[in-house]
């Protein structure tokens, strides 16, 4: 959220003195002006996000500019949004620190919900990096120390920011002082977060591994994000990149960040050590507090507000390597050589490449039109409707305890993933007790780069085929084909224990054994109704479990759970990947 910009002109008796022109009116501006009263002059919008907009406002009594953050009109009637807005104000109000943007007051009138903060004349750290590229190590260290100091106070007051990034660090134009802003998704110790249960909150580039996997998030997650920001200040780019947010998220769980000194060889060793330690995958290996970072950087920072001179910046840019230009020249040269070598050659007939083999443990579901839903049964499973899908691969079996243990061990261990099945649990059983975020993260890592949970349409297509079978094995119930209530096992069976229940393509255990997470929210089909007592934040589960009555264990059955449910003893998952 942008709360900074070019400072307004000195105050005068004219209402339009801030910009030299008459402010452009709109409905929100008019309502905000009415809510604030005659002691304030609303000038213009200076920032816009999905949750709120920020307006430049003149405090006519104290002759100062303010940044007034206004809840989006579309969200004014949302109790959750208003509570989140109020929570942000309460959070910032308890944090008086020279490196946190101060809050002055909040209000709720004229159908406008707002909070007023200090207007910071300057730019964001993100803007600075975009304009000038990597920062001098001394300045990067100073900013890290100042932000770490701000976070230390927040953490001691029980506040976790959860969205530390260059866009949320402002640099004061006159002094260079850094200020942390936007506590909109912060969590406090006294009250739980009001974001949707199980929602992965934060910005993918800066999220910690435990945020990605749904593990325990504490102050060390903020320090991880601080490390990402430190890396970006020094290297001009974050440590992990990808073409999609999911790819970025998966990389930080799958592999540690490369040492920052590899990207920026002139980084002073003490500064590199701080950044690298912040970026440890295991929270236990990071700093515990912001004050530890401040002390570690105590001998490597410049006084607050110090900035490199314009000459130093020009010199730094002049020192940047000519690798891109040389690379372009090399490409041109190679292209010319290639043209000479190919001249006069007879074109060769190319053999079409062989179709790629299915990933290990997965089965191809061909493209086609599949019937989803039914015209009888519960209303939330109606109506039957056609869905056209592209080809995809799906796991032959539910993810097993053994497979889950192996991936966790290879990607950070319990420190990142949280609790894992005990060593005494049979490795051939389907893994259960896994929240939706952890299941989703597992699929992305197990089948890179695009592995994920199946949509419920994909799951049902795999189970019913293009013929629209009632059960994976055919049109009629077979008591020996699935581990449901009639099997009387009282718990999950090792995967593949009921081969009569396989699909013609060999996909196992789609009915019974354990329910399976999907990527689909529990909403109504077109022309139908939503499942009873569900919320749009819940996710559909499919297939039934070992305790599901036979009469309702079929391929169109829809269940649902909150993504962070603790009632997961009978819920597991399997993954899909696109067929390329």
Task: Give pLDDT tens digits for 273-306.
Answer: 999 999 999 999 999 999 999 999 984 333 333 3
Q: How do 52-59 and 64-71 pair as beta strands?
A: antiparallel
The mean pLDDT value for 394-409 works out to: 94
Q: Give yes or no for residue 321 having a pLDDT over 70.
A: no
- Torsion, Cα of 435, 227, 406, 574 (10° steps): 40
For all residues of the chain together, what is the average pLDDT? 82
The mean pLDDT value for 480-488 works out to: 96
The mean pLDDT value for 54-72 works out to: 91
Predicted pLDDT of residue 9: 38
- Topology (CATH) of 122-193+200-313: Transferase(Phosphotransferase); domain 1 (1.10.510)
- The domain segmentation of the chain, as residue ranges, is 4-118, 122-193+200-313, 362-578
- Which residues are the active-site residues? 163
Question: Encoding tokens for residue 571?
Answer: 């819920």
Predicted pLDDT of residue 340: 33
Task: Give pLDDT tens digits for 542-555.
Answer: 999 999 999 999 99
Q: What CATH number belongs to 4-118? A: 3.30.200.20
Residue with tokens 């949280």: 418
Tell me if 416 sits within 8 A of 527, measured CB to CB: no
CA distance 184 to 87: 8
- The whole model's pTM is what? 0.59
Predicted pLDDT of residue 186: 54
Residue with tokens 């007790």: 433
More confident residue, 214 or 490: 490
The mean pLDDT value for 191-202 works out to: 44
Tell me if 512 sits within 8 A of 498, measured CB to CB: yes
Residue with tokens 């009637």: 77
What is the number of residues in the chain? 580
Query: Which CATH architecture best describes the domain 362-578?
Result: Alpha-Beta Complex (3.90)
């Amino acid at each position: 959220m942008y709360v900074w910009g070019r400072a307004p002109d000195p105050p005068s008796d004219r209402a339009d003195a801030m910009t030299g022109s008459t402010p452009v009116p709109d409905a929100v501006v008019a309502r905000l002006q009415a809510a604030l009263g005659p002691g304030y002059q609303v000038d213009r919008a200076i920032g816009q996000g999905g949750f709120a907009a920020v307006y430049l406002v003149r405090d006519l009594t104290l002759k100062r500019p303010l940044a007034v953050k206004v809840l989006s009109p579309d969200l004014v009637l949302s109790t959750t949004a208003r509570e989140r807005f109020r929570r942000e104000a309460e959070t910032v109000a308890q944090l008086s620190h020279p490196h946190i943007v101060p809050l002055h007051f909040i209000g709720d009138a004229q159908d406008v919900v707002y909070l007023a903060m200090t207007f910071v004349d300057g730019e964001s750290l993100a803007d600075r990096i975009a304009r000038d590229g990597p920062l001098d190590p001394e300045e990067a260290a100073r900013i890290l120390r100042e932000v770490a100091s701000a976070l230390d106070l927040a953490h001691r007051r029980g506040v976790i920011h959860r969205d530390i990034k260059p866009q949320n660090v402002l640099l004061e134009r006159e002094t260079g002082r850094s200020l942390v802003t936007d506590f909109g998704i912060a969590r406090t110790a006294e009250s739980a977060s009001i974001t949707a249960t199980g929602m992965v909150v934060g910005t993918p580039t800066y999220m910690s591994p435990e945020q990605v996997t749904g593990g325990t998030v504490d102050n060390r997650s903020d320090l991880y994000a601080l490390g990402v920001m430190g890396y970006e200040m020094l290297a001009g780019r974050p440590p992990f990149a990808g073409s999609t947010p999911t790819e970025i998220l998966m990389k930080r769980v799958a592999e540690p960040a490369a040492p920052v000194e590899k990207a920026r060889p002139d980084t002073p060793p003490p500064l590199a050590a701080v950044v690298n330690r912040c970026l440890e995958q295991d929270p236990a290996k990071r700093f515990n507090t912001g004050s530890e970072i401040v002390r570690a950087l105590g001998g490597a920072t410049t006084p607050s507000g110090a900035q490199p001179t314009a000459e130093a910046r020009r010199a730094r840019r002049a020192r940047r390597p000519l690798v891109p230009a040389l690379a372009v020249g090399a490409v041109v040269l190679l292209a010319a050589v290639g043209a000479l070598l190919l001249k006069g050659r007879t074109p060769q007939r190319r053999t079409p490449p062989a179709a790629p083999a299915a990933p290990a443990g997965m089965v191809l579901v061909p493209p086609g039109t599949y019937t989803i839903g039914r015209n009888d049964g519960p209303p939330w499973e109606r109506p039957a409707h056609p869905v056209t899908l592209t080809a995809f691969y799906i796991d032959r079996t539910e993810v097993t305890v053994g497979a889950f243990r192996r991936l966790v061990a290879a990607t950070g261990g319990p420190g990142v993933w949280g609790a894992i099945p005990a060593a005494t649990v049979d490795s051939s059983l389907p893994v259960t007790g896994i929240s939706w975020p952890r299941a989703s993260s597992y699929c992305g890592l197990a089948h890179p780069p695009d592995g994920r949970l199946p949509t419920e349409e994909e799951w049902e297509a795999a189970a019913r085929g293009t013929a629209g079978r009632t059960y994976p094995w055919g049109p009629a119930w077979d008591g020996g084909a699935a581990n449901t209530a009639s099997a009387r096992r009282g718990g999950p069976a090792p995967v593949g224990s009921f081969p009569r229940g396989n699909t013609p393509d060999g996909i196992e255990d789609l009915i019974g054994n354990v329910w399976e997470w999907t990527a689909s929210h529990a909403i109504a089909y077109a022309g139908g109704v939503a499942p009873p007592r569900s919320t749009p934040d819940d996710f559909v589960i499919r297939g039934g479990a070992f305790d599901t009555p036979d009469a309702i264990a079929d391929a169109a059955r829809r269940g649902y759970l909150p993504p962070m449910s603790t009632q997961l003893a009978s819920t597991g998952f399997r993954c899909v990947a696109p067929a390329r």
